Amino acid sequence: DVTSTETPNDNVRSPVDTTKPSISRVYDVMLGGKDNFAVDRQVAEMALRIAPDAPAAARANRDFLRRVVRHLARDAGVRQFLDIGSGLPTQGNVHEIAQEFAPDARTVYVDIDPIVLAHGRAILAKDGNTTVIEADVRDPESILGHPEVTRLIDFSEPVGLLLFAILHHLNDDEDPEGIAGRYRDALSSGSYLAVSHFHNPGDAHPEVSAQASSAERLFNENLGTGRWRTHDEIVSYFGDLELLDPGLVPLAEWRPEPDVVPEQGITYYTFVGGVARKG
Ligand code: SAM
């Protein structure tokens, strides 16, 4: 049961395998989306037993993404966005948020999962300033030099590089720190790096830490990835870029809407984010 995802512009090459769970589709289940299969829903159900707040975590991440992209497009003047590990289109996609505040904003979505490309077609069809490519974050050169990326992104101008909920899908032996560094090096001054990442609070919150470890086991058994890292490990991905206030914090604490009081549940301690500027 394999769906072909060929498109005329040849950005899509691989078939979609509906017999194995995929990260983007399990995440889609958590967000209440419809682009998933039985095998994904089974993993999502298992995850919910260990982490009943997983849908809240997914929503907190999308809310963080919205506040970050709005800040970059509206307040920081960023006009080009590279969103790696972008996931399936959902409500409030990066290009939509950016264009709300900067109609000329350009966005390239990158994901390893061919289903993301298949669903990106609708976007490709009606927006020349937005595109989707299939590529692997672990191969920065193939992304930075991709013709669709260089068509829309001018690396001599500020870029918003978005690594939301993607670096925690790289294992330690895949050198996430080195990979983040290769992308940082490609950015011009005035660019921004935004990261959201699963977090293990360690001894500060032992019960939450144990839950993070259980979730980590479940993810690795079913999806083959998933690392809940320490604050220091995640901070290292920003290198010598300058973290904007309030730093690397629980997602809900990153410049919350004025009327929102962050709820201090499991998600609060296990999912963090930050934005840094290249000087
Ligand atoms: N960035 C979106 C967000 O934060 O809402 C989606 C996050 S989703 C949890 C992670 C995405 O990363 C999935 O769509 C998955 O296919 C993609 N992904 C996982 N490993 C990848 C890799 N090596 N290269 C590119 N994308 C990858």
Convert the pLDDT of each residue in 117-172 to its tens digit: 988 877 777 789 999 999 999 999 999 999 999 999 999 999 999 999 999 999 99
Question: What distance in angstroms lies between residue 25's CA and the mean position of ligand 1's atoms?
Answer: 10
Neighbours of 254 (CB within 10 A): 25
Lowest mean pLDDT among 10-19, 158-167, 252-261: 10-19
Residue 39 one-letter amino acid: V
Span 198-211, pLDDT tens digits: 999 999 999 999 99
* 19 within 8 A of 6, measured Cβ to Cβ: no
Question: 119 CB less than 6 Å from ligand 1?
Answer: no
How many separate domains does the chain show? 1
166 close to ligand 1 (CB < 6 Angstrom): yes
Single-letter code of the amino acid located at 250: P
**CA nearest 195: which of 218, 167, 156, 217?**
167
Residues 6+ apart with CB under 8 A from 252: 60, 63, 64, 260, 262, 263, 267, 268
The parent domain of residue 250 ranges over 2-277
Contact of 12 with 114, CB cutoff 8 Å: yes
Rounded to an integer, what distance in angstroms lies between the CA atom of residue 44 and that of residue 58? 12
Q: Closest Cα to residue 154, out of 106, 120, 194, 97?
A: 106
Cβ 239 vs Cβ 274: under 8 Å: no
Please write down the HEC assignment for all residues of 223-255: CCCCCCECHHHHHHHHCCCEECCCCCEEHHHCC
Q: What is d(CA 213, CA 199) in angstroms, rounded to the nearest whole number?
A: 10
Asked if the interface predicted TM-score (ipTM) of this complex is over 0.95, the answer is yes
Alpha carbon of 214 to ligand 1 centroid (Å): 21
In this predicted structure, the answer to whether residue 19 has a pLDDT above a threshold of 80 is: yes
Position of tokens 């895949």? 174
Residue 156 DSSP one-character state = T
Is the confidence at residue 31, as pLDDT, over 90?
yes
How far apart CA 142 and CA 137 sit, in angstroms, is 9
What integer pLDDT is reported at residue 6 of this predicted model?
Answer: 40
CATH number of the domain where residue 115 is located: 3.40.50.150
